Amino acid sequence: MLSTRWLGVASARAALGGWLASPCAVCRSWDGSRLCRACVARFVSQAPRCERCAIGVPAGVAVCGACLRDAPSYDRSIAAVDYDHPWDALIAAFKFHGALDLASALAQRLVAAVEAAGGVRPDLLLPVPLGPARLAERGYNQAWELARRAARALDCRSDARLLLRIRDTPQQLALPRARRAANVRGAFLVEPRRSGELRGLHVALVDDVLTTGATAAEIAGLLKQSGATRVQVWVVARTPKD
């Protein structure tokens, strides 16, 4: 009886999640948001980033040396923050520990960065997909939780079923840099029955973190083979250096 009653309370709270206030996830103060205004002001930097890969660059530099030497297959990247304190812990909680109540606050950071960057809006937002086994284990795709909220805020289309992951791969962060491209090669597919839908589209690929860009490069190449004319990469956080 007791456990049923507690389950009832928990699910009622979950159902009202957007309505019941929670404290700031960083400083625990209460301003009605999971990321309070003071923490956003303190931990979101407006420092310039490379237009291609979103790594930090000095003021006045548009594209970093690595992208000038070897341009990635995606055309542009936008990151809201560096993958650093407190964002690394927030994203880990959101991604690995079921903290879906952080999705809106993180998506808001992404939307703010996209709006600040300006430029032409994409036609379609696609989340980096998870494989079936990882999706079943986690219960949600964190990239889709970000993409669908960003799409709503920016009035774009989003689609969680057009891009498929046909095999789960080891976490990129666990691998040396040189092995990451090979790790994701052939791991993704455009839904075969819908392969014509990308023709002529400007797409933004959405994920939580951009590390070496191996996954983004693999998918951007695939989207362009399928006819996409332009691919952006939108992430909450960019690792400051590889």
CB of 199 to Zn ion, least distance (A): 28
Laid out side by side, the sheet with 76-82 consists of 76-82, 230-238, 202-210, 124-127, 157-158
Using CB under 5 A as the binding rule, whether residue 53 contacts Zn ion is answered as yes
For residue 14, list its beta bridge partners: none
In angstroms, rounded to a whole number, what is the distance separating the alpha carbons of residues 22 and 37? 14
- Nearer Cβ to Zn ion (65/170): 65
Piece of the chain touching Zn ion by CB under 5 A; list 11-19, 36-44, 90-98, 175-183: 36-44
Among 33, 34, 43, 52, binds Zn ion (CB under 5 A): 52
Q: Is residue 49 involved in binding Zn ion (CB under 5 A)?
A: no
Question: Taking the CA atoms of the chain, what radius of gyration do you get in angstroms?
Answer: 18
Instruction: Note whether 238 binds Zn ion by CB under 5 A.
Output: no
| Residue 237 found at the interface with Zn ion (CB under 5 A) | no
Residue from 34, 36, 151, 187 in contact with Zn ion (CB under 5 A) = 36
174 within 8 A of 143, measured Cβ to Cβ = no
**Binders of Zn ion among 54-73, rule CB under 5 A?**
64, 67
**Contacting residue, 22, 27, 153, 195, with Zn ion by CB under 5 A:** 27
In a 10 Å sphere around its CB, with 0-12 CB exposed, 13-18 middle and 19+ buried, how is residue 153 labelled?
A: middle
> Where do contacts with Zn ion occur on this chain (CB under 5 A)?
24, 26-27, 36, 39, 50, 52-53, 64, 67
